Amino acid sequence: MSSLSARFAENVYWLARYVERAENIARIIHINETYARDDPGGPDWARVVELYADGERFAQNHETADAASVVHFYVLDKDNPTSIRSAIAQARENARSVRHLISTEMWTHINMFHSRLQSMTRTDVRSANLSRVATSLICDCQTFEGIIEGTFVRGEPWCFFQAGKTLERADQTTRILDMGYGRLAAAEGEAAHAIRRAVLLRSVSGYYAFRARHPAASQSSDIAMFLLYDRQFPRSVSLCVARLSERLRELQNRHGAKISADVEKARRALEFSLETGPGAELSAARLHDLLDQFQISLGRVSDALATVYFNQ
């Protein structure tokens, strides 16, 4: 690294990923509680555990994936590395390591956010409070993003922050689309289908953006194409990849093509897996294969970043 140490670059990168991850988990919990209750099957809390591939870890301390156990596991459980409490604790630790690189406002907000989570109890996240609490957590993450937008200098640390944020966001969108599209395919009846379409879109804050594109009746395939390829929707996979590519090219220009050759190779593979697309006949199985390959490509980009920039 030239002006930024490898350790600090990794800290900033993971600061972004952890905050983005916390926001997505809070949104999934909020949507599952608020909008899925009208589903004939009721809120599917096991779906949340499946979404994050936490079945084995969850089963160690919980017999049933009901509301109370899943919410505690993903909001407050300090022993669960994918909980919001753990994510924000990790984000704060990474922010502490780069305190000299971030603004006072960023540091103050992540400290306040962390303290509030540490003081929360099971009573705070019981069903009667859950929607309000989840919304508040989402707003805390979005406030942090707004502070970054207004105070973080557009230098090398910012490039790593944006790379982490867009990579995590693309990963979350592909996970949600993969599971949500499968549930759409399994829905019986127009009412259940409509509910699950709304749940899928709201899980990525895309309901109104999608309806602006498709004001009339739409197909499930329209939702998949929107979440994959709409370049005006902030959480679409295509836009995330485009923004990730911009930041990686900027880092390449700063450090020279030789040091970032492995990153560029992984980035091109990522773009290729997106450009290949699901084909003309979109099915849940075909989309799953595409998204599975895409998640592998995202992992390779993250590994290449670690090898080139962090492990020095």
Q: What is the pLDDT of residues 67-81, one digit of tens each?
A: 999 999 999 999 999
Confidence category of residue 101, pLDDT binned at 50, 70, 90: very high
Q: Domain boundaries in the chain?
A: 1-152, 154-312
Regarding pTM above 0.85, the answer is yes
Among the listed residues 38, 51, 35, the one whose alpha carbon sits nearest the alpha carbon of residue 192 = 38
Quote the percentage of the chain above a pLDDT of 90. Answer: 65
Q: Pick the range with the lowest mean pLDDT from 73-87, 120-134, 265-279.
A: 265-279
